[in-house]
Copies of this chain bind each other. A is one copy, B any other.
Amino acid sequence: MGSKNRITIKEVAQRAGVSIATVSRVLNNPESVTDEKRERVRGVIEQLHFNPDPAARALSNRSFKTIAVMVPNIINPVFSLIVRGIIHSLDKNNFDVLLYDTEEDFGREQQVVSGLVQKMVDGLIAVAGTGKEISFTELSKRIPVVLIDRPDNVSPVDKLSVDDREGMHTLVAHMAERGYTRIALVNGTKGNISANSRARYFQQALEEQGLPCSPEQIVYSGWTLAYGKIGLNELLSRNLNVNGIICATDIIAMGVMHAAAELGISIPGDMGVAGFDNSPLGEYVSPTLTTLQYSSIEIGKESVRAILRRFEEPGASLLKQTYSLPLIARQSTQGPASSGSVSPPGGTQEAQDPWKETDS
């Protein structure tokens, strides 16, 4: 493994007729060396294809220029977008990304976090997860940790998260306005903290809208496409005569819509459906999916800012930021068949080419 007859700073020094210190200087502090020697050394570096050994460098520097990123499921577009945002802006700062995909497994999650202390990383960005809490307290004593959409009441670390409360209120109000008044929630995994949070605010929103509200209106299933179907079936089996479904994520919503189509349920005519996190495919399914604008890429970038800030001011006060979620009204909530379709209101926002958001 690794490599063979390496060229070292020492060889470069000899060939250039200078000391290794000088070579190191032209590498890290070029101004502090005479023009002549600098060029001479650079020449040798070039011709020998010399590359400083990163491990040796790290050993001296105590820095790896690498950030670990942990996601529950790299296949979910929402997370891959966040990862893209992170990689994009980390790259500009010459950091690389060590990616951990925990496959929504709590064991893996714990394993990754506890293993991190002996990995060559300068920081960790942990995105969502299984919903069971992990303490980042210990790890955060060694390296900066930033949490994205990861409910956590114990770790003293920077946190970014969507405002579930506002989001649920927006969605419920929108559906009510469009004439869907018997609304259910198809949620993620039971026990997941995000799922709990969405459930709580869902109920709260129903109450504030004066809509019927019972625990039966919430179905817990899971976070993937296939669980959308399972969730819908469970919901239908409860005979609640629901006419609107809010889903905890767009992916779940797509699963629900697909299953509904198979059952001959017309959307939005028989049933309104809404997602939560603006997956790129939401505009490409039929009917197009009403959802909330979750700016994955931006959040990824913001998390990078947070972590870089902490490198500079390790003692800065703890960040606790929430994102609001503007409504993206599309066809899937256009109104029940009887009420006729309504044209979308203003303020709706859509990405242009969601599969290649390479802005800024």
Interface set of A (CB-CB < 8 Å, partner B): 1-3, 49, 51-56, 58-59, 61-64, 66, 73-77, 80-81, 83-84, 87-88, 96-101, 103-105, 117-120, 122, 138, 142-143, 224-226, 251, 254-255, 258, 261, 280-281, 283-286, 311, 352-358
Contacts and interface: CB of A to CB of B under 8 A. Distances in A.
Contact of A261 (B49, B261, B286, B358): B286
Given A226-B353, A353-B225, A355-B73, A118 B83 contact: no
Nearest to A119: B54
Contacts of A49: 138
Determine how many copies of this chain the complex contains: 2
B354 A61 contact: no
A355 B258 contact: no
A236 B1 CA distance: 54
Contacts of A142: 3
A55 B51 contact: no
Nearest to A117: B51
A355 B225 contact: yes
A75 B354 CA distance: 9
Given A2-B122, A285-B284, A286-B261, A66 B354 contact: no
Nearest to A51: B118
B224 A63 contact: no
B99 A254 contact: no
Contacts of A1: 61-63, 122, 311
Contacts of A353: 224-226
B76 A355 contact: yes
Nearest to A288: B258
A187 B62 CA distance: 48
26 contacts: A2-B63, A2-B64, A2-B122, A3-B142, A54-B119, A73-B356, A74-B84, A75-B280, A75-B356, A76-B355, A96-B98, A96-B100, A96-B119, A97-B98, A98-B98, A98-B99, A99-B99, A103-B356, A103-B358, A120-B120, A225-B280, A225-B355, A251-B355, A254-B281, A254-B284, A261-B286
A4 B326 CA distance: 43
A97 B119 CA distance: 12
A197 to B, nearest CB: 22
Contact of A355 (B56, B59, B226, B280): B226
Contact of A75 (B81, B97, B258): B81
A271 to B, nearest CB: 16
Contacts of A84: 74-75, 101, 103
B356 A120 contact: no
Contact of A58 (B63, B99, B120): B120
Contacts of A53: 59, 118
Contact of A120 (B54, B100, B281): B54
B101 A356 contact: no
